[in-house]
Amino acid sequence: MTDYAAVLSANYLGAQWSLSDNDYATLVWYDDTPKPSQAELDDAWPAVQQARQDAVAAEAAAKQSAIDKLAALGLSVDEIRAAFGLEGN
């Protein structure tokens, strides 16, 4: 099921709109640009989902990279967790 608010927030930056209960029928478009159709929003949803997943993966990779670098400097995983609140191997 498409998360219309997520698609609108991601793909229509700066546009003014309101939505109730993730129901496209309640979408009120206050912007001067054309209101996107339900089909356009549905079609955009997979890319928005992928972008969200990519962001989560990038954050996890960055944390793991930081842990690895700190461990290479001689800190134990317990020291890293205590100092930075990071989780790791």
Residue corresponding to tokens 């996107």 = 36
Q: pLDDT, tens digit, for every residue of 43-64? A: 999 999 999 999 999 999 998 8
Residue corresponding to tokens 């842990």 = 67
Q: Is a pLDDT exceeding 60 seen at residue 88?
A: no
Q: What is the pLDDT of residue 18?
A: 98
Q: Is a pLDDT exceeding 60 seen at residue 89?
A: no
Count of Cβ atoms closer than 10 Å to residue 11 Cβ: 16
Beta strand segments in 1-89, E: 17-18, 28-29
Average pLDDT (27-55) is 97
Residues whose CB falls within 8 Å of the CB of residue 24, separated by 6 or more in sequence, listed in order: 4, 38, 41
Q: Is a pLDDT exceeding 60 seen at residue 29?
A: yes
